Structure 1
Amino acid sequence: MTTKKEAADAVLAAKVRLGLTWTDLAEALGTPLAWTTAALLGQHPVPKEQAERAAEILELPADAVTALRLQPTRGALESPVPTDPTIYRFYEVLQVYGPTIKELIHEQFGDGIMSAINFRLDVRRVPDPAGDRVVVTLDGKFLPYQW
């Protein structure tokens, strides 16, 4: 049986081979861009209809549909500290600004956390004369601790 990792690798290879973008796939599946990308990279279970459609578009075998539908082990990286420069920068941002984010959440909302389950993500490009900016929006529901 194909694993979620193997299915994700097949998705990436097919995406390149077919000249598709994540936006193309999200539009074809009728799902949000960030969710689609994460799901096809193995971070979410893909509902049957979308898994079948993705496999059709990407010309994947039937066992890839099953793998895409499996419950994932979320957040599993290949190393505890990411080595990919783009992913490492987010790790670095959280090392520097994590305590600040935590303090501001507690000050503005109270004792609790930002949900990563009831969550939205957006990545966009903003032109800037000094060089285009990467704007990443992390939008999670506040979950108060309940004692």
Structure 2
Amino acid sequence: MKRIELVEKIFDIKREKNLSWKAIAEEIGGYSQIYIMTALLGQMRLPKPQAAKAAALFGLTPNEEKMLSEVPYRGEQSLVPPTDPTLYRFHEAMMVFGPTMKEYLHEEFGDGIMSAIDFDLQMEREPNDAGDRVRITMSGKFLPYRYHQPEGNFPALGYKED
């Protein structure tokens, strides 16, 4: 069985049992709803205690339970640009605001990236009279780029030593 087949099986059982993601996350416990959803959608691994609870909830086989704890191939199902309208809007937001976010990050932090490994994601409904809004908070550790030139070679390469 491939991971995507397990994800489809979980979706089928979720529908059959009329479960919400919130109820699933509460039943499995130990991690945020977003993390558990991401793992059950095949993009993260579940620790063994949570995998056991997920297996019991969904009636999974021992091999399927083990698969939930294995390191996945992240993003292997992704299309660029995505074809799903919701995913496309997230992609579009990054195409429009990504360069601004990059410039802001570099001005505030320096040359580096925001980790998607040491990372937290929160989503919530924000009531608004003009129509409810989606609040998304991403928090990732800043990782500065390292330059691996031998010490003292900066002047020879045309760089100024700090």
Q: TM-score, normalised by structure 1?
A: 0.94
Runs of at least 5 residues in structure 1 that lack an aligned partner in the other structure: none
Normalized per residue, which structure has more helix? 1
- The answer for the alignment partner of 1:11 in structure 2 is 10
- The answer for the alignment partner of 1:48 in structure 2 is 48
After superposing on structure 2, the runs of 4+ consecutive aligned residues of structure 1 that deviate more than 3 Å are: none
The Cα shift of 1:46 comes to: 1.5
Of stretches 113-122 and 46-55 in structure 1, the one that deviates more from structure 2 is 46-55
Q: TM-score, normalised by structure 2?
A: 0.85
The Cα shift of 1:78 comes to: 4.3
The alignment yields a C-alpha RMSD, in angstroms, of: 1.2
Higher relative contact order (CA 8 A, sep 6+): 1
Match of 1:137, SS?
A: strand
The Cα shift of 1:63 comes to: 2.4
Runs of at least 5 residues in structure 2 that lack an aligned partner in the other structure: 148-162
- The answer for the alignment partner of 1:25 in structure 2 is 24
The Cα shift of 1:48 comes to: 1.6
Conserved 8 A contact 1:8-1:40: yes
Q: Distance in 2 between matches of 1:78 and 1:103?
A: 26
Aligned length: 146
The Cα shift of 1:120 comes to: 0.4
Match of 2:100, SS?
A: helix
Conserved 8 A contact 1:38-1:44: yes
Conserved 8 A contact 1:114-1:140: yes
Paired residue type of 1:52: A
1:4-55: CA deviation from partner (whole Å, max 9, x where unpaired): 1111111111111111111112112222111000000000121222111101
Equivalent residue runs for 1:113-128 within 5 Å: 113-128=113-128
Q: Distance in 2 between matches of 1:16 and 1:137?
A: 28
The Cα shift of 1:123 comes to: 0.8
Percent of aligned positions that are identical:
45
